[in-house]
Amino acid sequence: MVHTHTPTILATPNNNVLTTANGNPVDDNQNSLTAGEFGPILLQDFHLIDKLSHFDRERIPERVVHAKGAGAHGYFEVTADLAKLTSAHFLQTPGTKTPVFARFSTVGGEKGSSDSARDPRGFALKFYTEEGNWDMVGNNTPVFFVRDPIKFPDFIHTQKRNPQTNLKDPDAFWDFLSLSQETLHQVTILFSNRGTPCGYRHMDGFSSHTLKLVNSEGCAHLVKWHFKTDQGIKNFTADEAADMDTKNPDSATEDLFNSIDKGDFPSWTVYLQVMKEEDAANYRWNVFDVTKVWPHADYPLQKIGKLVLNRNPQNYFAEVEQAAFSPSHMVPGIDVSNDRMLQGRLFSYPDTHRHRLGANYLQLPINQPYRARVNHHQRDGPGTFSQNYNNFPNYEPQSQDSNGPAQQLHDVRTKYTSVALHGKTGRYPQRSGDDDFVQPGNLYRLLKGKEQDDLIKNLVGNMRNVKNAEIVKRQIALFKRADPEWGCRVEDGLNAVKK
C-alpha cells in the first residue's frame, strides 16, 4: 500500500478564464443576477453568494501575541562539525544546507500596529529537516520578563488594552512589573534603544531558553542559540521610532521585503553557548531561569553556522499568517530542558494553533514537514487537505499491513533524554532573591554615555504616564536595588517632569 499526497489547490489555472471556486467559467463578474433590470437579486447566483460568503470568512483569529509580523524563506548552513554534541541529521556535516522559513514580529500590538513600537521582537525559525521540522521560536533578547508560565497570561494582559477603556494602561504595565522583580533584566533591555530596533535585519536573535543537544550516545549538553546579525545592530532612539511610526508604521515589514526583493539578502552568523549538564547544579545562577543570561566569559560563543534569507513569500496569508511555530516541534538530537517557561510553551503553541488554524494546521503547505515522510494515525478533522492516508490502517498495534508505520522501540535517538528527579511535588518558587538585580545592574553600568541617558529618558517618558504614585515608588526601589544611581536618576527625571 502506498500513501500518496494529492495536490492541495492548483496555484495557477491552466488558462486565464475566471472561474467560480468550483471551477465553472464566469461570464460576468461585474453584474449580479437580478429578476428583471430593476428587480432584486436571485439566490441562484452561486458566484455572487459564494464570493460574498467566502469574503465573510476571510479573517482567522490573529495571534494573541506577536500578531504583527513579516516573514521570508532562506536556508541555514551548518559550518562546524557538531556530531560530538548532537545526532540531529541536519547538524552532522559542515556545508549541509537546510531550508528555513523565518517570521519576525512585534509582541504586544494588534495586527495593524506599528513596526517601530517599543517591544521585544519575535525571531521565529522553522527548519525543514529530513527528520521533520525543528522550530526555534526565540526573541531578539536573550532573556524574558517572567520565568514561570503561570505568570505569562497575566503579564500579557498588562501589555494589552484595559478591559474598560480599551486603551493601553501604563498603570497596569508598571504595577505588574514593579511587583515582579524578575522582570527587571528584560525591562532594562526594553527601555534601552534595543527596545526599538531599526528593522528586522538589524537585530540579533536568541533561543533565550536553555535547550539540550544530545549526541548519538545519548549524552546531553545544555545550549543556548545566538543569531548575530551580519547587517550590524541598528536601533532607533525613542524620537526616531516615534517619527517612523508617523511616517511608515510598516517600516520593518517593508525594509525586509524590499531588501530581499533587490537581492540584498540578510544573514545572521549562528553561535552556541555550550554547558556540561553536570555544571548546571553548581552554577551561580539557575541555568534554567530565562530571566538570566550565561555570561560569555564563562560560556563563550562557538560559531556553528549561517542563516540567510533570500526569498520573499509569494502570498502573505498562506505563508506568513498561517505559519505555526512551536518550541515543541523538535527533531531527534535536540531536546527540551527543565526551563519552566519552555515547558509551558511546549503546550501553549500547538494549543493556540488548533484554535487559530484548526486541528490539521500541520497539513498547511507552510507548516508541512515536507522533507520528511509523515506517517501516523491521525485522521479526518476540518481542513483535511491531504489524501488522508487513503486506506492505510488508522490504528496501532496492527498486524494486517506489514508496511504500516511502527514505533521505533530501539532507536536511541529519542527526543527526550531522561532526567533525574528529587523531592516531592509542590509549587516551588524559583530561587532568586538579590540575584535578580545583579545582571540588570551590570547591564545598566555597561551602557555608557548617551546609551545610558537614553535608557533614563525612555523610562521617564513612559513612567510619567503612571497615575498611581505607589507603583512608581515601587519600581524606582527596584532600579535602586540594581544600582542606586539608576533609581535616583529615574526619580529625579520624574520629579523634573512633574515640575
- Whether residue 389 is annotated as binding a ligand: the answer is no
Provide the b/e sequence for 457-496 (b: ≥16 CB within 10 Å): bbbbbbbeebeeeebbebbbebbbbbbeebbebbbebbee
Catalytic pick among 47, 66, 221, 353: 66
Q: Is 66 an annotated catalytic residue?
A: yes
Near ligand HEM by CB under 6 A: residue from 32, 96, 310, 352:
352
Provide, rounded to whole angstroms, the least separation between the CB of residue 478 and ligand HEM: 21
**CA count, 13 A, side-chain hemisphere, 280:** 21
Tell me the CA distances in angstroms from 216 to 1, 82, 405, one per residue in order.
32, 11, 23
Told to check if 328 binds ligand HEM by CB under 6 A, we report no
Near ligand HEM by CB under 6 A: residue from 47, 63, 224, 457:
63
Told to check if 200 binds ligand HEM by CB under 6 A, we report no
> What is the number of the residue whose Cβ is closest to ligand HEM?
122
Provide the b/e sequence for 283-313 (b: ≥16 CB within 10 Å): eebbbbbbbbbbeeeebeeeebbbbbbeebb
Task: Determine which helix (DSSP H) or strand (DSSP E) holds 20, and give its type and residue range.
Answer: none
Q: Is 157 an annotated catalytic residue?
A: no
Told to check if 70 binds ligand HEM by CB under 6 A, we report no
Q: Which of 105, 173, 188 is nearest to 142 (CA)?
A: 188
Provide, rounded to whole angstroms, the least separation between the CB of residue 344 and ligand HEM: 4
CA distance 184 to 180: 8
Told to check if 358 binds ligand HEM by CB under 6 A, we report no
CB-based burial of residue 438 (10 Å sphere; 0-12 exposed, 13-18 middle, 19+ buried)? middle
CA distance 189 to 294: 16
Three cell numbers at 236? 532607533
Near ligand HEM by CB under 6 A: residue from 174, 285, 349, 437:
349
Near ligand HEM by CB under 6 A: residue from 221, 224, 329, 353:
353
Q: Which stretch binds ligand HEM (CB under 6 A): 21-29, 120-128, 427-435, 445-453?
A: 120-128
Told to check if 344 binds ligand HEM by CB under 6 A, we report yes
Q: Which of 324, 308, 405, 311 is nearest to 365 (CA)?
A: 324
Told to check if 124 binds ligand HEM by CB under 6 A, we report yes
Near ligand HEM by CB under 6 A: residue from 201, 221, 224, 345:
345
Told to check if 174 binds ligand HEM by CB under 6 A, we report no
CA distance 407 to 164: 52
Provide, rounded to whole angstroms, the least separation between the CB of residue 156 and ligand HEM: 8
Provide, rounded to whole angstroms, the least separation between the CB of residue 436 and ligand HEM: 17
Tell me the site size for ligand HEM, rule CB under 6 A: 29
Contacts (CB under 6 A) with ligand HEM, residues 96-115: 103, 105
Contacts (CB under 6 A) with ligand HEM, residues 435-464: none
CA distance 250 to 116: 8
In this complex, which beta carbon is closest to ligand HEM, that of residue 147 or of residue 221? 147
Q: Which of 148, 428, 113 is nearest to 241 (CA)?
A: 113
Three cell numbers at 411? 532507536
Catalytic pick among 47, 73, 139, 353: 139
CA distance 175 to 463: 11
In this complex, which beta carbon is closest to ligand HEM, that of residue 352 or of residue 384? 352
Provide, rounded to whole angstroms, the least separation between the CB of residue 105 and ligand HEM: 5
In this complex, which beta carbon is closest to ligand HEM, that of residue 120 or of residue 487? 120
Q: Which stretch binds ligand HEM (CB under 6 A): 132-140, 439-447, 452-460, 472-480?
A: 132-140
Dihedral of the alpha carbons of 482, 485, 491, 493, in degrees to the nearest 10? -120
Near ligand HEM by CB under 6 A: residue from 48, 96, 149, 483:
149
Provide, rounded to whole angstroms, the least separation between the CB of residue 329 and ligand HEM: 12
Contacts (CB under 6 A) with ligand HEM, residues 287-326: 290, 323-325
Told to check if 137 binds ligand HEM by CB under 6 A, we report yes
Extended beta strands in 146-297, E state: 205-206, 211-214, 220-229, 267-276
Told to check if 60 binds ligand HEM by CB under 6 A, we report no
**CA count, 13 A, side-chain hemisphere, 187:** 28
Told to check if 139 binds ligand HEM by CB under 6 A, we report yes
CA distance 219 to 86: 8
Q: Which of 321, 242, 310 is nearest to 68 (CA)?
A: 321
- Known binding-site positions for heme: 349
Q: Which residues bind ligand HEM (CB under 6 A)?
A: 63-66, 69, 103, 105, 122-124, 137-139, 144, 149, 152, 208, 290, 323-325, 341, 344-345, 348-349, 352-353, 356
Active site residues: 66, 139
- Known binding-site positions: 349
